[in-house]
Every structure is written in structure tokens, then in C-alpha cells.
Structure 1
Amino acid sequence: MNLKNYWVFLGLLAGLLFGIATPFSKLLLVDLNSFQLSGLLYLGSGIVIIPSIIKNFNNFYKDKDVAKDENTSKKSFLEVKFDKNFIKILLIILFGGILGPLFLMIGLSHNSASSTAVWLNMELVATAILGLIFFKDNLDKFASIGLLLTFIAGLIVSWGNGFGDIFSIIFIILACFSWGLDNQLTSIVDGYSPEFITFVKGIFGGGVNLTIGMIIASQMISLNLIFYGIILGVVSYGLSIVFFVSSAQNLGATRSQILFATAPFWGIMFSIFIGEPLTFNLIIAIILLIVAVLITNNIVHNHKHHHNKVEHLHLHSHDDGHHVHKHDSNEFEIYNKDKNKKHTHIHVHNEKHHEHNHFPDLHHKHDH
């Protein structure tokens, strides 16, 4: 599997894991309030990252992760973080970790799981709108077609399920725009690993919502409900967020969001296994969605563009024409030989002007 297909696969897997959360969350909302469940889900997403944080402790606090490149500064991992992206992380926690899941749980508590799953397609539209207006996200004709097909697929499924109560729809749309902003900010944060973003968003966002939920609740949460909520968060919000962040940083927010937008359909398809019928509308919608994913992720654009000198950190390999630095230490020597092997460390890109096929990923947020 080449690297681009790997990011596409991660985007689809993220959608699958997130999609199955809706029907299970609806069941848990019978005994939990919206603050409690959104808090437990995101605490689960943070907890699943703890082993990775512990394993890579030295990568967070020592200079050994700095690439042995003559243009790389001697800043520590944390210094690069706080210099460049601290405000972005705070906004990601606020919109992605607190408001997004809270709005969704409020909407879901007043609507059916299937209707909510369909309306979650608005996250794709929200991500694209915010990208065009604020984040230099290029939306060429192929991406536009994919966006349109995805939205039409959602409408087709909605035709058979109804549109639910206006109150719940408003909150679901607010959740989608909160996560749309989260998606765009995530795709341009270059000083943090996907694991770190998921960890802080889950622990801080989940902690805030759970605390509020405990204060306003009339009784204590049972241990069984805490366990189920956290496990669902581990799978559907922890692993899915890590996979989505990796996909977004390498494919661009809008294209990766089209992959992630399969989540509502995974949720509906999962309901088939528990007794709901496979309708004609659903079959047509899935076909349209497959076409949208294929056309969006197999077409790239080509033009001359300029890269300014930048120092940042993200997952990468040395086979893409952008990461040409060398590693002198024995620990990183393997990456000089195996250029396809993915790894993370602080590194420098020198100023460059060239032409090649590309996506609006972390390195290609330029004007057109």
C-alpha cells in the first residue's frame, strides 16, 4: 500500500469507528445526560492515547527528536509547540472537545439515531465552507463534485427517515460546524502529533463536560455506564480521531473529511445488523458516496507553487520529494535507508519553488 492510499484507508477507518458511535450513544442517553456522555466519550478518547504518550515520553521532552539537519534549530519539542500553535490547540479543545460532542449529544437526545447519523453529513459541508473562507483550502471541480455527491447521498437517505425536530437539527448542525472548525485547525497544526492532539482534546474537553454533567445530575453515574461510555469513547472517538488527524494532515481537511463523512452511512449500515431494513434509498446513497470518495481522492492538481522555509513536526516519510533531510544518529539511520518508513520528529523545510501533483495538505496551503 503506497502512502497516499494509506491515508485514504485511515480516513475511511476513522469514519467507520465514529459512525458506530451514534446508535450506541442513543442507548446510553437513556440513563446519562448530554454533558455526562460527551464527557465520558472524550475522556475515553484521551485515555486510549496514554500508552503512546508514556512510550514516547522522551520524544516530548528531549532534543533527540530533532532531525540532524544543518538547518534545524536546537529548540526542544515543547518550545516549538508553544511558539507556534498554542492558540490553535486551545480552539481545538473548545470546539472539537467540548462544544462539538456536547451539541451532538443534545441533538441526539431529541432525535432518532438514524436521523442524527444522516444529519452528521453536514460536517463535510461545514468543513468545506470554513476551508474556502478562512483556510485557503482549494476546492477544485473534482472535490466540488465529490462534495455535492456526498451531500446528495445524505439527502437521499434523509428522504426516507424524516428530518427530525428543528431543535435537535439546530444542535446537530452546530456540532458539525464546531467539528468543521476543529478539522481545519487540526489540518494546519504542525507542531503536535496526532496522539498529542487527541490526548489534550479528550482529557480537557471530556473533563470539562463530565464535571458539568456531574454537577447538574440528580444522581451518581453507575460504574457500568461509566465503563460503557469510556469504552465507546476509546473506540469511536479515540482511535477514530487519531486516524482522522493523520489523514487530514496528509490529504487536506476537505478531502479527508469526505472520507470521514462515510461515518453516518457506517452507522446506518450497522443498524442493518441489528434488524433495520436495507432500503433502496440507502443503496443509492452508498453508491453515490463511493463515487464521491473515489473521484475526490484519485484526482490531484498540478501547478507551480512556492514553499517558504518552515520548521515543524508531523508524521512523514522520505519518499515524497519534500522531506529530504538526513539523519546522522544511529537511532534514526534506518529512515535514510528505508524512505517509505513513517516517523515523527522536528525538521526543517528549506524555501523551494517547484511543480508537481499535490493535495491541499499540511505543505500545500497556498493561494490559487
Structure 2
Amino acid sequence: MAKSHSHLWPGVPLALGSAVLFGASAPLSKLLIGVVDPWLLAGILYLGAGAGLGLLSGARALIGLGNEEAPLKRADLPWLAAVILFGGVLGPLLLMLGLSLTSASSASLLLNLEGLATMAIAWLVFRENVDRRLLLGAAAILAGAVLLSWNGVGLSLDAGGLFVAAACLCWGIDNNLTRKLSSADPVQIAMIKGIAAGATNLALALAFGAAWPGAMLVAAGAVVGLFGIGISLVMFMLGLRHLGTARTGAYFSLAPFIGAVLALIIFREAVTPQLVLAGALMALGLWLHLTERHEHEHSHEAMEHEHAHVHDAHHQHDHDGPVTEPHSHPHRHEPLRHKHPHYPDLHHGHSHSHG
């Protein structure tokens, strides 16, 4: 019998959880950045994410917990290499170059371009469905993020600013290419990305003369990286699986507000009208997204793929014996036509005749 549940679950909580963890990593990293070289810290954060997820995976196997996720396949490797290149190597490298050439205020404003790049590429290049309500919600979230990082000085589009903008474009490409991998095991992907990107950034930072910090600082950076980058990335990938790139990217754009609220607690900063207004804009955007209801009769073409699933309305196939859910195996979808609320997830990549 088909299982039925809200179309908001589990994609929306996963995307918001990813934003919370990543947003929290910013003020926590700020505690370390005064005593650790920023580029070296990026390497420690990514390596902490990769190594930490590797240890969690090993522990899961040791205590006999199964893994229902689909493993990476040979066909996934070019996408994984591109994700590591754009998101783990070029993005941080361009950001560090930009920060060395432009003001911190200008850089913080320009970093909001990541959310814009992610959504624009999803909508314009990969043709994800978008309507006016979604655009207004995304615009409100982004406006809140811009307001949050505005310090009244203005934006300087110098060479450094262009490097920061290029970094955001790389992360926007990374987020969209990660969608191509979202049916595979997100822990395995995040682990590989963390180790590859962390080792690259660490080697570059040390080559340019960064001083190695004490063991406690390295450990603290690794823990922040595990939660703020590693587990956040796993949740982001699971969100992509259920929501598509544009909507996951929009929810993820709430991260700066999470970071700002946590900074109030850690650094005892004052609550400003700027923060309140930014929060109101983001709350409006969040409400517009949460109350979206995209429902129409649509057709599913025949498809074969592999990912973790339960036997819901889209997975009605037989097994030779009893199975536990969720489980993963190669399976075939027969052509199907029906109507229900949905997002552009793994099974709803259909076109629309109007916006």
C-alpha cells in the first residue's frame, strides 16, 4: 500500500537543518580565525568534515548498522570530480584571493551571490520549475541576507570583489552539479569532497607560509568542520533529493541570519533594527516557500535508477522476499500519470507549459 505524507517532509527540515549548521559555523570559525590563518582554517574545516564523516561511517559499520544508500558508481565520478574542483578547490581559492584584495564589508555583501547563482543556474540552465511565489520568496530571503551584511559603506567592485563573485559562481555551479549525485550516498560524497578539498587547501596554505596552530585549535576547527560543513553538506544533499536545487538553495540562504543570531549570543552583540528587518524579510520568504502548493496532473516517463526509497506512490515494485525500508537497489519506474503536491525532486523533472 502506498504511503502518503506531507510534500514538505523530509526535504524542508533537511534544507533548514543544513542552513542552521552552516550558519552556526561562521561565528564559531570567527573565534578561531584570529589565531589560525584563514586559508589553513579552510583546510582544517574541510578535512575535519571528511575525516569525521569517515569515522562515523566506520563506527556505523562496526556496530552493525546497515547503509541503505546507493553507492557511488563509475558514471558518478566525473560529476564528483567537478563538484570537488568547483566547490572544494576553486571556490575557497578565489575567496581567499578576493579577501586579500577587497574589504571585508564588500566581501560579505558579495557572498550573497552564492544563493543567487545557485537559484539562477537551477532555474535558467537546468529548467527547474519556478513561479511568482517562489521568486518572491527567494527575493525576500536574499534581500534579508544582503541587508544583514550591509554596513552602509557600499559595494566596491574592484579586482578582489570580482574574485569573490567568481567564488560564488563556483559554489553555485557546485550546488547544481551536486544535484546530479543526490541519489547516491551523501555521506560517502561529503567524505570524499571534504578530504580532497581539505588536503588541497591545507597544502596550498602551508606552501604559502601559514603557521601550523596548536593541537587544541586544530581539534576545535575539525569539530566545527564536521558539523558546519560535513553534516551540513549531507543534509543539503538529502534536501536536493527531495526539493530540487532552487528551493534547497533558497532555504540555505537563511544561513547568514542563523549565524548573526548565534553571534548575538557568543559575542553579546546588540540587537539592531537591521537584524530585525532582515529577520522579517527572511521570515516572509520562508512563509512564501512553506505555503507553496504545486499540484497538477503530470506524467512520469519510464525510468531506471538506484537510490534509497520506501514503497510509496512512486515505488510500486515487487521483491523476491521480505525487505526492510528504506532500502536501495536498482529499480524501474513504469510510466505513470497522477496528481499530487510535489517539488522538482528525483522523480519530478517534468517540464511545464507555463511558469
TM range (shorter): 0.7 to 0.9
Structure 1: tracts of 5 or more residues without a match: 67-76, 336-341
Note if contact 1:41-1:234 (Cα within 8 Å) is conserved in structure 2.
Answer: yes
Residue 282 of structure 1 aligns with which residue?
275
SS of residue in 2 equivalent to 1:5 = coil
Residue 28 of structure 1 aligns with which residue?
32
Alpha-carbon offset, residue 144 of structure 1: 0.6
Note if contact 1:34-1:102 (Cα within 8 Å) is conserved in structure 2.
Answer: no
Q: Equivalents in 2 of 1:189, 1:87: separation in Å?
A: 10
Alpha-carbon offset, residue 149 of structure 1: 0.9
Q: Equivalents in 1 of 2:249, 2:257: separation in Å?
A: 14
SS of residue in 2 equivalent to 1:275 = coil
Structure 1 residues 232 and 116: alpha-carbon distance in aligned structure 2, compared to 1, 3 A threshold? farther
RMSD, matched Cα:
2.9
Structure 1 residues 316 and 212: alpha-carbon distance in aligned structure 2, compared to 1, 3 A threshold? same
Q: Equivalents in 2 of 1:106, 1:28: separation in Å?
A: 20
Q: Which amino acid aligns with 1:87?
A: P
Deviations 1:93-140, CA, capped at 9 Å, x for gaps: 11122222333455556654x875554332221111111232121121
Note if contact 1:107-1:172 (Cα within 8 Å) is conserved in structure 2.
Answer: yes
Task: Work out which of the residue numbers 78, 83, 103 in structure 2 matches 1:92.
Answer: 83
Aligned pair 1:361/2:345, yes or no? yes
Residue 291 of structure 1 aligns with which residue?
284
Note if contact 1:136-1:366 (Cα within 8 Å) is conserved in structure 2.
Answer: no
Note if contact 2:19-2:232 (Cα within 8 Å) is conserved in structure 1.
Answer: yes
Structure 2: tracts of 5 or more residues without a match: none
Deviations 1:318-338, CA, capped at 9 Å, x for gaps: 33x1122244444x2x33xxx
Q: Equivalents in 2 of 1:168, 1:250: separation in Å?
A: 36
Deviations 1:198-237, CA, capped at 9 Å, x for gaps: 0111111111111222222254443233222211111100
Alpha-carbon offset, residue 191 of structure 1: 4.8
Residue 339 of structure 1 aligns with which residue?
none
Aligned pair 1:152/2:156, yes or no? no
TM-score by length of 1: 0.82
Q: Which amino acid aligns with 1:177?
A: L
Note if contact 2:53-2:187 (Cα within 8 Å) is conserved in structure 1.
Answer: yes
Structure 1 residues 156 and 230: alpha-carbon distance in aligned structure 2, compared to 1, 3 A threshold? same
Residue 300 of structure 1 aligns with which residue?
293
Note if contact 2:118-2:249 (Cα within 8 Å) is conserved in structure 1.
Answer: yes
Q: Which moved more, 1:187-196 or 1:245-254?
A: 187-196
Deviations 1:287-319, CA, capped at 9 Å, x for gaps: 111121121233132334333333323333333
Alpha-carbon offset, residue 52 of structure 1: 4.6
Q: Which amino acid aligns with 2:276?
A: I
Q: Equivalents in 2 of 1:56, 1:347: separation in Å?
A: 26
Aligned pair 1:133/2:124, yes or no? yes
Q: Equivalents in 1 of 2:51, 2:328: separation in Å?
A: 21
Residue 74 of structure 1 aligns with which residue?
none
Q: Equivalents in 1 of 2:40, 2:210: separation in Å?
A: 12
Note if contact 1:190-1:312 (Cα within 8 Å) is conserved in structure 2.
Answer: no
Aligned pair 1:8/2:1, yes or no? no
Residue 315 of structure 2 aligns with which residue?
323
Structure 1 residues 23 and 105: alpha-carbon distance in aligned structure 2, compared to 1, 3 A threshold? farther
Q: Equivalents in 1 of 2:182, 2:33: separation in Å?
A: 36
Residue 70 of structure 1 aligns with which residue?
none
Task: Work out which of the residue numbers 40, 47, 52 in structure 1 matches 2:44.
Answer: 40
Alpha-carbon offset, residue 185 of structure 1: 1.5
Deviations 1:33-78, CA, capped at 9 Å, x for gaps: 44322211111111222145336769xxx9x979xxxxxxxxxx66
SS of residue in 1 equivalent to 2:268 = coil
Q: Which amino acid aligns with 1:129?
A: A
Residue 258 of structure 2 aligns with which residue?
266
SS of residue in 1 equivalent to 2:296 = strand
Residue 71 of structure 1 aligns with which residue?
none
Structure 1 residues 359 and 65: alpha-carbon distance in aligned structure 2, compared to 1, 3 A threshold? closer
1:216-227 correspondence runs (5 A)? 216-217=208-209, 219-227=211-219
Alpha-carbon offset, residue 19 of structure 1: 1.0
Alpha-carbon offset, residue 366 of structure 1: 2.5
Q: Which amino acid aligns with 1:16?
A: V
Q: Equivalents in 2 of 1:142, 1:19: separation in Å?
A: 25
SS of residue in 2 equivalent to 1:264 = helix
Aligned pair 1:310/2:310, yes or no? no
Q: Equivalents in 1 of 2:150, 2:56: separation in Å?
A: 43
TM-score by length of 2: 0.85
SS of residue in 2 equivalent to 1:49 = helix
Alpha-carbon offset, residue 152 of structure 1: 1.9
